[in-house]
């Protein structure tokens, strides 16, 4: 199935599906300015009205284009005006590091997608608990719920997520308060 980016609905769908994970990926490569990189890539594919063979082809193209844009920006930045070889070593941009960041970005995107499909109250409680690091008591106070209601909704949400996510992604969700999701997720 061919994907034509010149169609606004197709473009919006591609942007919505890939923006967050591409920002996460770009942020790991260039830090500040990651959102600008991703937006520039999307502007270019819109202007050129590119056609892709499949969703997989589109995703591969987007990651490759973001990586190249990040490398171009690093090359022109002050901290890496020295030789091309040294900029890659200094910034740690090996091919394997790029692949690892793509994998991490996609896992985070899949977790976000599963959380977004939860019932509203479950979604809010899981977000506050695992993504913002709040305690059950803090959530209960903020939402005006009993502590037991928060625990029940949290258990319900975890049960639904366990069914929707592969075991390794579910386990990562449970570890998020420990690894600080603020470092993992780009600002939306």
Domain ranges, residue 65: 1-105
2 lies in the same domain as 40 = yes
Look up the pTM and report it: 0.53
CA distance 142 to 146: 10
Angle at 173 between CA 168 and CA 178, to 5 degrees: 115
Listed in sequence order, the residues at least 6 apart from 126 whose beta carbon sits closer than 8 Å to its beta carbon are: 115, 118, 154, 157, 158, 161
Tell me, yes or no, whether 110 lies in a domain. no
Task: Put residue 38 in one of left, alpha, beta given phi > 0 → left and psi -120 to 50 → alpha.
Answer: alpha
Q: Along the 188 residues of the chain, how does pLDDT read in single tens digits?
A: 567 677 788 888 888 888 988 998 888 888 888 899 999 999 988 888 778 888 888 888 899 999 989 888 877 765 545 544 555 555 555 666 777 777 777 777 777 888 889 999 999 998 888 777 788 999 999 999 999 999 999 999 888 888 888 877 777 666 655 444 444 444 43
101 lies in the same domain as 152 = no
Q: Which one of 44, 72, 105 terminates a domain?
A: 105
The 8-class DSSP code of residue 127 comes to: I
* Domains of the chain: total: 2
99 lies in the same domain as 130 = no
Q: Which one of 105, 131, 155 terminates a domain?
A: 105
Instruction: Report pLDDT for 183.
Output: 46
90 lies in the same domain as 122 = no
């Amino acid at each position: 199935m061919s994907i034509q980016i010149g169609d606004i609905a197709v473009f919006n769908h591609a942007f919505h599906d890939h923006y967050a994970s591409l920002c996460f990926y770009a942020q790991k490569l260039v830090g500040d300015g990651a959102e600008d990189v991703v937006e520039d890539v999307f502007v270019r594919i819109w202007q050129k009205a590119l056609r892709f063979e499949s969703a997989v082809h589109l995703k591969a193209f987007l990651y490759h284009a973001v990586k190249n844009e990040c490398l171009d920006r690093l090359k022109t930045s002050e901290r890496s005006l020295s030789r091309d070889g040294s900029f890659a070593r200094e910034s740690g941009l090996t091919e394997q590091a790029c692949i690892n960041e793509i994998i991490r970005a996609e896992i985070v995107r899949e977790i976000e997608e599963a959380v977004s499909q939860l019932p509203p109250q479950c979604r809010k409680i899981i977000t506050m608990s695992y993504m913002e690091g709040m305690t059950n008591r803090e959530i209960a106070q903020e939402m005006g719920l009993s502590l037991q209601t928060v625990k029940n909704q949290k258990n319900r949400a975890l049960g639904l997520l366990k069914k929707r996510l592969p075991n390794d992604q579910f386990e990562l969700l449970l570890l998020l308060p420990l690894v600080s999701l603020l470092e993992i997720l780009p600002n939306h």
